[in-house]
Structure 1
Amino acid sequence: MSAEAAFQDALIQHLSADAGVIALLGDPPRVFDEEPAGAAYPYVTIGRGVSEDADGDGARVIEHRLTLHVWVRHGGRREAKTIVDAMRTAGHEAALSLSGGWRCVFCRSVYADAFRTADSRIAHGVIRFRALLEEVA
């Protein structure tokens, strides 16, 4: 399993188990890799992931940034910001257990934004997490 897939799985599992996230996105939380047709609002989709090699001291290390998108239909930017904040609170400095021979050295929330889309009925929130992932020998 790739470091990026292991991190994504662990982060989504961690966020989906958080009471604050569940209160806003349902139980189980509406977090999707791809938006299903007719998804109930609000929900989160997994966005872009960017990685760079950061090897050092003979260890394979990857710096990875993963973006999550929040979609809100009726609560506007305020609701989008509330959901982004719940995910930031749950995920920032989270101790994540990764599978596939990887460990998460750290996980931090590094960016957040909320805005209206071209469809003025929908607000869009964005949160980005940065992680340092190390291969376990």
Structure 2
Amino acid sequence: MSPSLALQAMIDARLCADAAVVALVPADDITDRRGRPASYPSILFGEAREYPLGAVKRDSTRLSLDLHVWTNTLGTREAKEIVSAMRRALRDAPWEADGHAVLDLRFEGARYMPDPGDADITHGVVTVDAFMLETA
């Protein structure tokens, strides 16, 4: 499994298992799909960037991953509450799964904006940065 896919799977598992996150976004609406979501609120996995960092004994990778938060309420309050719950759910590295370990995960930032096609929809973009090590 690629480091990017392993990170996505670990983040998905953490978000779907967190009571505070699923109280705001049902687990079925935390998904990997393109475009606007099928229902609101939702969290969609977005763009990912991998930066291999070769090592003598193991491969390590730095990754950057965007998560898209969508709400259909006026203003940014709901999106910001979802992002806050996501941040708490993603604390406490290290994590390990599928031959990869997340040694460090950082919240790089979040942006909130009205959707250009529908002013009643808020779109938030959260960027996380991870340092991962291949364990297998």
TM (norm. structure 1) is 0.88
- CA shift at 1:103, angstroms? 1.3
Contact 2:74 2:120 in 1 (8 A): no
Give structure 1 stretches of 5+ with no counterpart.
none
- CA shift at 1:39, angstroms? 2.1
Quickly say closer, same or farther: Cα 1:12–1:75, change in 2 above 3 A. Answer: farther
Larger strand fraction of residues? 2
Identity of aligned residues (%): 33
- CA shift at 1:76, angstroms? 2.7
1:32 alignment counterpart? 31
1:17 alignment counterpart? 17
Secondary structure (helix, strand or coil) at the match of 1:56 reads coil
1:122 alignment counterpart? 121
- CA shift at 1:93, angstroms? 3.8
Extract structure 1 runs of 4+ deviating beyond 6 A.
Answer: none
Residue identity opposite 2:84 in structure 1: D
- CA shift at 1:85, angstroms? 1.1
Structural mapping, 1:1-137, within 5 Å: 1-26=1-26, 28-34=27-33, 39-99=38-98, 101-118=99-116, 119-137=118-136
Residue identity opposite 1:120 in structure 2: A
Once the two structures are superposed, residues 30-52 of structure 1 have per-residue CA deviations (whole angstroms, 9 ceiling, x without a partner) of: 11111598722100111000010
Contact 1:84 1:126 in 2 (8 A): no
Aligned residues: CA RMSD: 1.9
Give structure 2 stretches of 5+ with no counterpart.
none
Residue identity opposite 2:111 in structure 1: D
Q: How many equivalent residue pairs? A: 135
